[in-house]
Amino acid sequence: MSTDLVWFKSSYSGSEGECLEIAVAPTTIHIRDSKTPATPTTPTLQVTPATWKAFLNTLL
């Protein structure tokens, strides 16, 4: 995982820490659990922008 990624916390984050963070790259959307300490080895889910867009459209 690149250390150059800029992570953003979900606007749907709860007050008790149940949060997702995303980082957008040109060909990949990186997703991680914000409760997990952020290190270069922190597990992430990686999807294509098209997959991320399709997921977001299901929330509307």
pLDDT tens column, 23-47: 999 999 999 988 887 787 888 999 9
- Number of domains making up the chain: 1
Does residue 37 fall inside a structural domain?
yes
CB 33 within 8 A of CB 20: yes
- When mean pLDDT is compared across 8-12, 14-18, 23-27, 31-35, the lowest value belongs to 14-18
Show the domain range for 33. 7-58
Q: Distance between CA atoms of 11 and 1, rounded to whole angstroms?
A: 23
Which residues are CB-contacts of 30 (< 8 A; sequence separation ≥ 6)? 1, 5, 7, 22, 23, 24, 44, 45, 46
- Per-residue pLDDT averaged across 4-17, rounded? 76
Determine, yes or no, domain membership for 1: no
| pLDDT for the residue numbered 14 | 65
pLDDT-derived band at 60 (thresholds 50, 70, 90) equals confident
pTM of the model: 0.76
**At CA 5, angle to CA 60 and CA 30, rounded to 5?**
40
pLDDT of residue 41: 83
